[in-house]
A and B are shown apart, each in its own frame.
With several copies, the nearest count.
Chain A
Amino acid sequence: MKTLLQNYKHPSIKPVWCPGCGDYAVLNSVQKAFAELELKPEEIGVVSGIGCSGRFSHYFNSYSLHGTHGRALPIATGLKAARPDLTVLVAGGDGDGMAIGGGHIAHAARKNIDLTYLIMDNTIYALTKGQSSPTSPVGARTKTAPYGVFEDALNPMAIFLSYDVSFIARTTSLKIKEMEHIITSAIRHPGFAIIQIMSPCVTHKSLTYEDIKENVPELPENHDPTDKLAALKYAYAEPQYTGIFYNIRKPTLEERLTSVFDHVTEKAFNKNHTMTTSQIMEEYR
């Protein structure tokens, strides 16, 4: 396994995260999941946004794209839609994913595109050195909320459920085993999978290891991940649970497009064949 893992690590680029950053554990778990799934490195696409967590894509021996703030998801959507043969992983932070990029999630969910999206949630804008994020707790002092955050924090699990994302999970940087299991399952899952990872920032300390050490129980064994209302109850429960909240099978984008395509080719005069450019032009004569 050790040597196998090396396959997925960038041969020379080492993470620039602070020592102790929660994101190291995430990186490690993803690489282990790739190994577990025996993926070919050249058939992996990693797309990330901007933020400390946004540096994710640099550390793989894969085809990686480190784009702009908040746009990892639509970029990955294009990549996966054009190249369904690749395994595509998306990574970013709470700000990247839920503030500037928040508008994209619902639409990836509508397509149920077969992506795995990791949100490393440290409840702060870390790269820019400590401003409020949409998951910062009310009252917290941040650089942009010197008198305390006055907005309510978002509830990511509830939101993803309302979008009907087909695989939804939460874990923490301390639950290494659970994280590996969840990431592996998410990559295996046919369709859009989203994982909120509570990943402490040791420098800006909005979310600390203390916060995720206790009081973050696993979902009970008997939780039925196909039961949305049950999942919603856990989404609203205190303390915060970890585990797979929701997991259903519905057609992926590729399956949806194929069914459209079948329909089209049946209609097209060349049954079961695509048309040539010349044939298309003929239609406009």
Chain B
Amino acid sequence: MAKQQKKRIKPTVDFTIRIAGEGGEGVISCGELFAKTIARTSFHVFTFITYPSEMRGGYSMIQIRFRDVTVYSMGSFVDCLVVFNQEAYDKSIEVLKAGGILIYDPDKVNIDTALPVQKFPVPIEHISKDVIGKTLGKNVVALGVLSHIYDLERDQTKKLILERYGSKGEKVVEGNYAALQAGTKEADTAGIPQVFSLAGGKPANAEYMFISGNQAVALGAIAAGCRFTAGYPLTPATSIFETLSKLLPLVGGKAIQMEDEIAAISAIIGASFGGEKVITPTSGPGIQLMAEQLSLASMLELPIVVVDVQRGGPSTGLPTKTEQGDLKFAVYGSAGESPRIILAPTSVEDTFYQTIRAFNLAEKYQLPVILLTDQSIGYRKATVKMPDFDKIFRVDKFDRKKNIKIPQADLIDILQRQEPTDKELADYKRYRDTKNGISPISRPGTPGGQYVATGLEHNEYGRTDQSPENHLKMSKKRFRKLDTVSRAFEKNPMETYGDPHDKIGIIGWGSTEGAIREARYLAEDKGIKVRHLHPSTISPLPERQISNFLHRLDHLIVVEENLTGQFAHFIKAKFGVKPIEVHKCEGTPFTPHEIYNAIMKVARIADEDTITKL
């Protein structure tokens, strides 16, 4: 996974393609088929999707990037742009590289003929009508054009078309085949260049899967042993619950749709009390409704995993757009003080492992773990190394392993919750005030393990006790778990990249990892060296990681996709530093170049030494 790949391998192949149009025109499925075809080759693929929250109309686009090495971000500029309509052209043309290829429907789009790009009018709608009598095949015509430019393995594409449209009958499939071919033929006739050949190369590495961040959560949950989910649909998290609804029954688990998010989190609390590993996926609007039950789970010390696929806020906001706006809510989103752990995956692959880690931490420390992803990572699809499940290490007595490492493809710990021993059951204190704060938890059905789990303040037995001494004692006990977590994390490897001597440092969290990494490479190419810290644990604050990182740093940049600088605020409060904060609050993810520009600005200032040292 990304974190281990410390040495930079420069790509020899690196192409970025954007297809843009209106919601309902099929641009996304066109791009997905294109990307999937590539995923069957030995190249690494990465996609980014954005579409309007409206039922129809509005700007919709997919950007696909492929390389011969891991792809870290959607890229800043594109080599090839396919636009279906004027709005798509207007909103996208600025990212097309000089000399890049522009494919547009001349019946729909007026272009600036002075642009220094290769312009090719392809009447995709017209062709679709000609070939299949309807306009809705135009996305497959476009796919045919792309198939020509990047010389796709035709059989592979056709296989994927069959998979996708097979259920609609032979006629539809045949129509799509025809549309595909017509697109390729038109491209050939029009003299559109063949830029690269993806066909005939090495086949896909069997060790890889091509999944989205949301799918990675679902698969990670299953790998971690989760067999129960309760959920309620909410963009952009819905596909997690949908995937689990499909997969859980296949592994003997259960997925239950509830009437709202309050009911969903309540149900997983009940199931966790019953001894199951549980998850509920949601986004900003939904997690707000869970505030009271998050606090309950923390008070009852029950393990639960809640996924927040962040979207643009506040309120209904920008349902299909990305933002890192829920961090403070994740940490503080309950009245009173209730400990919880926040993890923020950095890539699709990392999402898989952080999900497993979320379960491990929840089960070990008996508290809610919130997995904070976002629309950009949730909808992103990437080639991900397949974990080797023969090497999964089931840690039943978790005390053998004191710290919960960042899992890796070749070593996955799966923890189970600690149950009381017979001796402990003789006088069972469910909330025993232990040194590390963790108290063994009995599974319903165990004789002698009966107890009441109450949201009222309670003593070690679980009996309500609201005396001053007890409240203080039990509050400390609950929070002590976070200290234990922090101590355990001390042993985790540093999540930093770059040279420890570099004087400029950049901290990010969550889905921006790839863009920051590439920005760092870009800066490096200009001779500016930058260190990068990207902690996957956001709360409790990874103090050792950050303080080590801050050591001997002259300039600190904190990058996040929100308006107010939420993570920066934590760092400032803890370390008294005054970072340069780079925020983006536009519903779209950072491109590497946006971050690169920030780095270069800082580097210039650093050069002039006009900024006070940290």
Additional A-B contact list (8), CB under 8 Å, known A45-B444, A144-B233, A281-B389: A41-B447, A42-B446, A68-B315, A74-B263, A74-B267, A83-B444, A144-B231, A284-B219
CB-CB under 8 A from A277, the residues of chain B are 222-223, 251, 389, 392
- Of B49-57, B123-131, B579-587, B604-612, the one contacting chain A is B49-57
A87-129 residues at the B interface, CB under 8 angstroms: 99-100, 102-104, 106-107, 111, 125-129
Give the interface of A toward B (CB within 8 A): 10, 13, 16-19, 21, 40-43, 45, 47, 50, 52, 57-58, 60-71, 74-83, 85-86, 99-100, 102-104, 106-107, 111, 125-129, 131-132, 134, 143-147, 203, 257, 260-261, 264, 268, 274-278, 280-281, 284-285
Contact yes or no, B266 A71, CB < 8 A: yes
CB-CB under 8 A from A144, the residues of chain B are 231, 233, 241-242, 245, 255, 257
Contact yes or no, B275 A83, CB < 8 A: yes
Contact yes or no, B273 A79, CB < 8 A: yes
- Of B151-159, B292-300, B338-346, B531-539, the one contacting chain A is B292-300
- The number of A-B residue pairs with CB atoms under 8 Å apart is 242
Contact yes or no, B258 A76, CB < 8 A: no
- Of B78-86, B194-202, B204-212, the one contacting chain A is B204-212
B268 CB within 8 Å of chain A: yes
Contact yes or no, A63 B450, CB < 8 A: yes
Contact yes or no, B259 A63, CB < 8 A: no
Given contacts A78-B266, A81-B228, A285-B209, is CB(A66)–CB(B251) below 8 Å?
no
> How far is A103 from B232 in the complex, measured between Cα atoms in Å?
15
Produce 1/0 per residue, B374-413, CB < 8 A to A.
0000000000001101101000000000000000000000
Which of B222, B250, B292 is close to A264, meaning CB atoms less than 8 Å apart? B250
Contact yes or no, B455 A66, CB < 8 A: yes
B213 to chain A, nearest CB (A): 13
Which of A81, A104, A261 is close to B271, meaning CB atoms less than 8 Å apart? A81
CB-CB under 8 A from A127, the residues of chain B are 55
CB-CB under 8 A from B249, the residues of chain A are 147, 257, 260-261, 264
B463 CB within 8 Å of chain A: yes
Which of A60, A107, A285 is close to B263, meaning CB atoms less than 8 Å apart? A107
Given contacts A257-B254, A264-B250, is CB(A103)–CB(B448) below 8 Å?
no
Most buried by B among A42, A63, A100, A129: A63
Contact yes or no, A145 B257, CB < 8 A: yes
> How far is A78 from B234 in the complex, measured between Cα atoms in Å?
20
> How far is A203 from B300 in the complex, measured between Cα atoms in Å?
31
Which of A18, A68, A70 is close to B55, meaning CB atoms less than 8 Å apart? A18
List 25 A-B pairs, Cβ < 8 Å. A19-B56, A40-B447, A45-B274, A65-B270, A66-B452, A66-B454, A67-B266, A68-B316, A74-B259, A74-B262, A74-B270, A78-B266, A78-B269, A78-B272, A99-B260, A128-B233, A144-B231, A144-B257, A145-B257, A203-B55, A275-B250, A280-B222, A280-B251, A284-B215, A285-B204
B246 CB within 8 Å of chain A: yes
Contact yes or no, A78 B228, CB < 8 A: yes
- Measured CB to CB, the nearest residue on chain A to B458 is A66
CB-CB under 8 A from A129, the residues of chain B are 238
CB-CB under 8 A from B250, the residues of chain A are 264, 268, 274-275, 280
Contact yes or no, B257 A42, CB < 8 A: no
> How far is A75 from B251 in the complex, measured between Cα atoms in Å?
23
> How far is A100 from B238 in the complex, measured between Cα atoms in Å?
16
Given contacts A43-B444, A281-B389, is CB(A77)–CB(B267) below 8 Å?
yes
B614 CB within 8 Å of chain A: no
B362 CB within 8 Å of chain A: no
CB-CB under 8 A from B241, the residues of chain A are 144
> How far is A34 from B454 in the complex, measured between Cα atoms in Å?
22
CB-CB under 8 A from B273, the residues of chain A are 45, 63, 65, 75, 78-79
CB-CB under 8 A from B209, the residues of chain A are 281, 284-285
B541 CB within 8 Å of chain A: no
> How far is A50 from B249 in the complex, measured between Cα atoms in Å?
30
Contact yes or no, A126 B211, CB < 8 A: no
* Interface residues on chain B, number (Cβ under 8 Å): 84
Contact yes or no, A285 B208, CB < 8 A: yes
B256 CB within 8 Å of chain A: yes
B31 CB within 8 Å of chain A: no
Contact yes or no, B450 A16, CB < 8 A: no
CB-CB under 8 A from A146, the residues of chain B are 242, 245-246
Contact yes or no, B389 A61, CB < 8 A: no
Contact yes or no, B232 A42, CB < 8 A: no
Produce 1/0 per residue, B416-453, CB < 8 A to A.
00000000000000000000000000101111111111
Which of A82, A100, A131 is close to B275, meaning CB atoms less than 8 Å apart? A82
B247 CB within 8 Å of chain A: yes
Contact yes or no, B275 A107, CB < 8 A: no
B39 to chain A, nearest CB (A): 9
Which of B24, B274, B285, B442 is close to A83, meaning CB atoms less than 8 Å apart? B274
A78 to chain B, nearest CB (A): 3
Contact yes or no, B386 A281, CB < 8 A: yes
Contact yes or no, A103 B251, CB < 8 A: no
> How far is A80 from B270 in the complex, measured between Cα atoms in Å?
8
> How far is A252 from B386 in the complex, measured between Cα atoms in Å?
39
CB-CB under 8 A from A41, the residues of chain B are 447, 450
CB-CB under 8 A from A275, the residues of chain B are 250-251
> How far is A82 from B277 in the complex, measured between Cα atoms in Å?
10
A93 to chain B, nearest CB (A): 12
> How far is A85 from B446 in the complex, measured between Cα atoms in Å?
12
B556-612 residues at the A interface, CB under 8 angstroms: none
B252 CB within 8 Å of chain A: yes
B415 to chain A, nearest CB (A): 16
CB-CB under 8 A from A134, the residues of chain B are 259
- Measured CB to CB, the nearest residue on chain A to B286 is A69
CB-CB under 8 A from A65, the residues of chain B are 269-270, 273, 300, 452-454
Produce 1/0 per residue, B283-307, CB < 8 A to A.
0010000001100100010000000
A54 to chain B, nearest CB (A): 9
Shortest 3 CB-CB contacts between residues of A and residues of B: A78-B270, A78-B267, A82-B271
B486 CB within 8 Å of chain A: no
> How far is A82 from B226 in the complex, measured between Cα atoms in Å?
11
Contact yes or no, A42 B219, CB < 8 A: no
> How far is A80 from B230 in the complex, measured between Cα atoms in Å?
13
Which of B234, B446, B452, B456 is close to A64, meaning CB atoms less than 8 Å apart? B452
- Measured CB to CB, the nearest residue on chain B to A85 is B445
> How far is A52 from B231 in the complex, measured between Cα atoms in Å?
20
Given contacts A144-B241, A277-B389, is CB(A42)–CB(B448) below 8 Å?
yes
Contact yes or no, B454 A58, CB < 8 A: yes
> How far is A126 from B268 in the complex, measured between Cα atoms in Å?
26
CB-CB under 8 A from A104, the residues of chain B are 259, 263
Produce 1/0 per residue, B138-180, CB < 8 A to A.
0000000000000000000000000000000000000000000
CB-CB under 8 A from B232, the residues of chain A are 99-100
Contact yes or no, A86 B267, CB < 8 A: no
Contact yes or no, B276 A125, CB < 8 A: no
CB-CB under 8 A from B42, the residues of chain A are none
Contact yes or no, B452 A79, CB < 8 A: no
